[in-house]
């Protein structure tokens, strides 16, 4: 378990960047979240007619050449393009240019669960149809999962360590948690941390269908992601990226940067149970919540809102609810909990980063995102899930849960600056 309660330097968020199924930047994505709009629709990137699931949450209208050098963009898989563009936005909001500071003090940690699967499967088809000599020399450097972090390093000029965290659907949250650890222990002044994913490819959809993990509600895609609802039948595959500019509070103050939030705590545990199913006891996930609060030196009584992992699969939503009751006790019924995946779909390794970014905006805006499509709650899911409409509230402490295949449980605590 990480997150042992020791604190050294305080860590603040000074910039956010996002490319999501709801918009190509933070502002547009948040506006859609606040309005309860879904980004889920029928797949357009390939012919999905023969698939059990024919819809996903695609990023719409994205042209990488609007943001990146044309030659550079063509040498990036789509997931790395998303990461690079989100990092640029985070740096702009933070008024941060690594090329104008000690570049070795700026690190990059970008999580991805799958990496360049679009490039891998596309070039495999080239191999089968046209032979080995027609495979692009950029196959390997485009498909590697660490190329999200590498490309962020190159487009921003950051020259500290850059690497990828791969922990399934906890990858983005773990990348942010790793950035927190690097800064608070004095190994970095700035970390560009987040997650990126572009998994909407035939092989991915077929694979998740084979697992029976995806919703098959093809008649109404916008209602297919329905966390905590009685009729949920699986998650909705999504793509995108989010990057947070993290800094030590001292570094931010020295350059006059206004913190958006403080990253106060992080913890991770493992279920040690099953390849894909969460531990039915909920104890390990609950331990991650407790440890994250301990690291933040806070208690359940301090929590104002929690962004759930909330995938819309039967097992996840049951077991996450159980874990929250174990970790939060009587406060579980007081604390509003919502799943933004009801609108964004599930960005896999980028999901935790996207949700941490949304939590940061929620703190500043005083608005809790809704869980849409929640019309008939499951009897076993009996918490306050902020159904169908966003809710104004004074928010000081928020949590974000991320859980992943393989038993990963990761929790982030964000607070108002200076709390």
Question: Tell me, what's the pLDDT at 136?
Answer: 96
> Are residue 270 and residue 291 in the same domain, yes or no?
yes
> Are residue 296 and residue 407 in the same domain, yes or no?
yes
Count Cα atoms within 13 angstroms, Cβ side, for 255. 17
> Are residue 272 and residue 249 in the same domain, yes or no?
no
Percentage of residues in the chain having pLDDT higher than 70:
97
Burial (0-12, 13-18, 19+ Cβ within 10 Å), 185: exposed
Rounded Cα distance, 320 and 329, in Å? 14
> Are residue 250 and residue 270 in the same domain, yes or no?
no
Rounded Cα distance, 94 and 264, in Å? 19
Which helix (H) or strand (E) segment is 33 a member of?
Answer: helix 26-35
Query: Which one of 231, 254, 277 terminates a domain?
Result: 254
- Bridge-partner residues for 403, per DSSP? 409
Q: Which of 346, 359, 381, 408 is catalytic?
A: 346
pLDDT tens per residue, range 241-278: 999 999 999 999 999 999 999 999 999 998 777 776 77
> Are residue 296 and residue 197 in the same domain, yes or no?
no
SS3 245: strand
Q: Which of 309, 359, 381, 408 is catalytic?
A: 309
Q: Which of 91, 164, 169, 381 is catalytic?
A: 169
Task: Please report whether residue 177 resides in a domain.
Answer: yes
Query: Which one of 227, 254, 281 terminates a domain?
Result: 254
pLDDT tens per residue, range 390-407: 999 999 999 999 998 777
Closest CA to 371 of 310, 316, 412, 313: 310
Confidence class for position 6, pLDDT limits 50, 70, 90: very low
Task: Please report whether residue 260 resides in a domain.
Answer: no
For the residues 61-87, what does the mean pLDDT come to? Answer: 97
Question: How many domains, the chain?
Answer: 2
CA 399: distance to chain centroid? 13
Query: Which one of 218, 234, 254 terminates a domain?
Result: 254
Confidence class for position 1, pLDDT limits 50, 70, 90: very low
> Are residue 305 and residue 184 in the same domain, yes or no?
no
Task: Please report whether residue 63 resides in a domain.
Answer: yes
Question: Tell me, what's the pLDDT at 2?
Answer: 45
> Are residue 333 and residue 370 in the same domain, yes or no?
yes
pLDDT at 371 exceeding the cut of 50? yes
CA angle 319, 52, 212 (to 5 degrees): 25
pLDDT tens per residue, range 90-137: 999 999 999 999 999 999 999 999 999 999 999 999 999 999 999 999
Average pLDDT score, the chain: 95
Is 169 among the residues known to form the active site?
yes
User: In which domain, by residue range, is 75 found?
Assistant: 11-254
Q: What is the DSSP letter of 279?
A: P
Rounded Cα distance, 99 and 137, in Å? 30
Task: Please report whether residue 324 resides in a domain.
Answer: yes
Count Cα atoms within 13 angstroms, Cβ side, for 319. 23
Count Cα atoms within 13 angstroms, Cβ side, for 84. 27
Question: Tell me, what's the pLDDT at 231?
Answer: 95
Number of other residues whose CB lies within 10 A of the CB of residue 50: 8
- CATH number where 227 lies: 3.40.47.10
Confidence class for position 418, pLDDT limits 50, 70, 90: confident
Task: Please report whether residue 86 resides in a domain.
Answer: yes
Percentage of residues in the chain having pLDDT higher than 90:
93
Task: Please report whether residue 190 resides in a domain.
Answer: yes
Count Cα atoms within 13 angstroms, Cβ side, for 57. 34
CA distances from 169 to 224, 333, 382, 407 (A): 19, 26, 24, 10
* Beta-strand relationship, 106-111 and 190-197: parallel
Residues 6+ apart with CB under 8 A from 348: 113, 114, 168, 169, 171, 197, 199, 237, 238
Question: Tell me, what's the pLDDT at 5?
Answer: 40
CA distances from 111 to 83, 286, 351 (A): 10, 23, 10
Question: Tell me, what's the pLDDT at 221?
Answer: 98
Tokens, residue 115: 């990496």
Confidence class for position 3, pLDDT limits 50, 70, 90: very low
Task: Please report whether residue 3 resides in a domain.
Answer: no
CA 122: distance to chain centroid? 25
> Are residue 377 and residue 271 in the same domain, yes or no?
yes
> Are residue 299 and residue 403 in the same domain, yes or no?
yes
For the residues 265-292, what does the mean pLDDT come to? Answer: 86
Tokens, residue 261: 């939030």
Question: Tell me, what's the pLDDT at 276?
Answer: 60
- Tell me the DSSP string of 5-22: S---S-EEEEEEEEEBTT
pLDDT at 282 exceeding the cut of 90? no
> Are residue 350 and residue 385 in the same domain, yes or no?
yes
> Are residue 109 and residue 135 in the same domain, yes or no?
yes
> Are residue 231 and residue 293 in the same domain, yes or no?
no
Task: Please report whether residue 162 resides in a domain.
Answer: yes
91 close to 156: Cβ distance less than 8 angstroms? yes
41 close to 200: Cβ distance less than 8 angstroms? no
Residues comprising the chain, all counted: 419
């Amino acid at each position: 378990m990480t997150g042992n309660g020791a604190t050294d330097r305080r860590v603040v968020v000074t910039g956010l960047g996002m490319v999501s199924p709801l918009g190509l930047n933070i502002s547009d994505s948040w506006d859609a979240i606040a309005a309860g709009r879904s980004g889920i629709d029928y797949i357009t990137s390939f012919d999905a007619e023969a698939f059990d699931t024919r819809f996903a949450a695609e990023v719409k209208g994205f042209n990488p050449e609007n943001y990146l050098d044309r030659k550079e963009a063509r040498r990036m898989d789509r997931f790395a393009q998303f990461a690079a563009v989100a990092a640029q936005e985070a740096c702009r909001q933070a008024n941060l240019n690594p090329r104008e500071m000690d570049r070795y003090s700026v690190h990059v940690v970008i999580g991805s669960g799958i990496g360049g699967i679009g490039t891998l499967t596309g070039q495999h088809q080239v191999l089968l149809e046209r032979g080995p000599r027609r495979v692009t020399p950029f196959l390997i450097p485009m498909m590697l999962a660490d190329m999200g972090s590498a490309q962020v390093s190159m487009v921003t000029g950051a020259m500290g360590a850059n690497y990828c965290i791969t922990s399934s659907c906890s990858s983005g949250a773990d990348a942010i948690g790793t950035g927190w650890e690097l800064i608070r222990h004095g190994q970095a002044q700035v970390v560009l941390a987040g997650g990126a994913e572009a998994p909407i490819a035939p092989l991915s959809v077929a694979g998740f269908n084979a697992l029976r993990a995806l919703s098959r509600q093809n008649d109404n895609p916008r209602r297919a992601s329905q966390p905590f609802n009685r009729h949920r039948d699986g998650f909705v595959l999504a793509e995108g990226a989010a990057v947070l500019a993290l800094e030590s509070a001292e570094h931010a103050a020295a350059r006059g940067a206004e913190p958006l939030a403080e990253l106060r705590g992080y913890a991770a545990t493992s279920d040690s149970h099953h390849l894909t199913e969460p531990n039915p006891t909920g104890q390990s996930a609950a331990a991650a919540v407790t440890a994250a609060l301990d690291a933040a030196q806070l208690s359940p009584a301090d929590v104002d809102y929690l962004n759930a992992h909330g995938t819309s699969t039967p097992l996840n939503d049951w077991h996450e609810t159980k874990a929250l009751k174990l970790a939060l006790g009587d406060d579980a019924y007081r604390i509003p909990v919502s799943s933004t995946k009801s609108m964004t779909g599930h960005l896999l390794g980028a999901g935790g980063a996207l949700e941490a970014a949304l939590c940061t905006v929620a703190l500043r805006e005083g608005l809790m995102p809704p869980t849409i499509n929640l019309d008939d709650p499951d009897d076993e899911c009996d918490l306050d899930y902020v159904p169908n409409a966003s809710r104004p509230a004074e928010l000081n402490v928020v949590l974000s849960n991320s859980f992943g295949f393989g038993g990963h449980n990761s929790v982030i605590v964000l607070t108002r600056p200076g709390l």
